[in-house]
Amino acid sequence: MRRGRSGGARAGRGFGGIRWWVLLLFAGYAAFSWFGSAETDPYTGETAHYGASPVEEVQLGAQAYQQVLSDATAQGALLPADAEVSRQIREIAERLIAKVPAVTEALATENGQEAPQIYRDFQWDAAVIQSDDANAFVLPGGKIAVYTGLLPVAENQNAMAAILGHEIAHALLRHGSQRMAQQKLVQVGQMAAGVALGGMDPGQQQAVMAALGAGAQYGFILPYGRNHETQADKVGLMLAAAACFDPREAVPLWERMGRLGGGERPPEFASTHPDPANRQETLRALMPQAEAFYREHCADRPPLQ
């Protein structure tokens, strides 16, 4: 298969040479691994690709969380675990997490899927960080961080439950892992392009591999895609309702979030999030199902009216 020196040089620049075949091989590999890794997400019934195993997710999330906590501590921004706000946030999170098994079971059944057990290995935790940003995020495996700038936007515990439910849902839906699968695909594409278009030197290849690792570790805090946001809204709303929070508070919450200026709108709730108006419409459409969760799980509470 090896060509002559002059032929090889010409082929390297054009589309008729050996590098074209390298590109095809990479594309074939990418397609094979992408479609071969397709699974049905039990919470949504939609096709999903995971870039890390549940065990890896928990490990990566725990590592990244340690980094987040030590950074916040170094800045003097980590609220003590026994601070009033920390306790309130943890209490809301705990009520939501207690309903994960029941909501998981119900949604999986709705989609004709077996209920996943992955969340049993999650190491849930919630930290509150002093910051003007109206932000929150979750790391794979269930580590949640809430910035104090979110409190005035949340206004009440029902809305905070909608936010925390949304974050918990990102972890349950393994959106971090799904994004890693997308990143890997992009990396394979870039490597293929690099090889096909003249090749990369070992230093560049190393940089690509490092980017892969760094993306896996730090990519989680970036905004999720629109579809993942909508999925997290739905699953989070059902969790909030099953935990006996008023799910209807989610609608004005996203109204308030939408009123934050573009520059002030923090990463987790930034431009790739669904348009606030669409989001409220979607939430309203989900309300009958959420209210059914409330009725089923909150018979001892005052009914929603």
Q: 100 vs 136, which CB is nearer to Zn ion?
A: 136
**Contact (CB, 8 A) for 39 and 104:** no
Select the span of 75-83, 191-199, 223-231, 287-295 touching Zn ion (CB under 5 A).
223-231
| Residue type for position 187 | Q
Query: Which region among 11-19, 179-187, 227-235, 286-294 touches Zn ion (by CB under 5 A)?
Result: 227-235
Quote the least distance from Cβ 298 to Zn ion, whole Å. 25
Q: Residue 232 Cβ, how far from Zn ion at the closest point, in Å?
A: 5
Binding range to Zn ion, per CB under 5 A, among 97-105, 126-134, 224-232, 246-254: 224-232
Q: Of 78 and 162, which CB lies nearer to Zn ion in the complex structure?
A: 162
Examine the residue annotation and report whether 167 is marked as an active-site residue of this protein: yes
Exactly one of 46, 56, 110, 167 is catalytic; which is it? 167
Alpha helices in the chain (DSSP H): 5-13, 18-36, 54-74, 84-98, 100-110, 151-154, 157-172, 175-196, 202-218, 226-242, 250-259, 276-297
The span from the CA of 51 to the CA of 248, in Å, is 34
Binding residues with Zn ion: total (CB under 5 A): 2
> Least distance to Zn ion from the beta carbon of 276, Å?
13
Instruction: Please say which residue, 57 or 192, places its beta carbon nearer to Zn ion.
Output: 57
Which tokens hold the place of 156?
């009440």
Q: How far is the CB of 13 from Zn ion (least distance, A)?
A: 45
Q: Which amino acid is at 252?
A: P
| Residue among 211, 214, 176, 216 nearest 194 (CA) | 211
Please state, in angstroms and rounded to a whole number, the distance separating the CA atoms of residues 60 and 183: 16
The CA distances from residue 229 to 27, 147, 148, 173, in Å, are 29, 19, 22, 11
Ordered strands of the 136-139 beta sheet = 125-129, 143-147, 136-139
CA 84, CA 148: separation in Å to the nearest integer?
12
For Zn ion, which is the closer residue by CB, 136 or 242? 136
> Quick one: 181 or 257, whose CB is closer to Zn ion?
257
Per-position DSSP letters for 268-279, written without gaps between them: GGSTTSPPHHHH
- Contacts with Zn ion in 228-287 (CB under 5 A)? 229, 232
In the stretch 173-212, what mask flags binding to Zn ion with x, by CB under 5 A?
Answer: ----------------------------------------
Single out the segment in contact with Zn ion by CB under 5 A; choices: 109-117, 197-205, 221-229, 283-291: 221-229
Nearer to Zn ion, 135 or 148 (CB): 135
Nearest approach, Cβ of residue 143 and Zn ion (Å): 15
CB of 165 to Zn ion, least distance (A): 11
CA–CA dist 28, 34 (Å, integer): 10
Catalytic residues: 167
In the complex, which residues of this chain contact Zn ion (CB under 5 A)? 229, 232
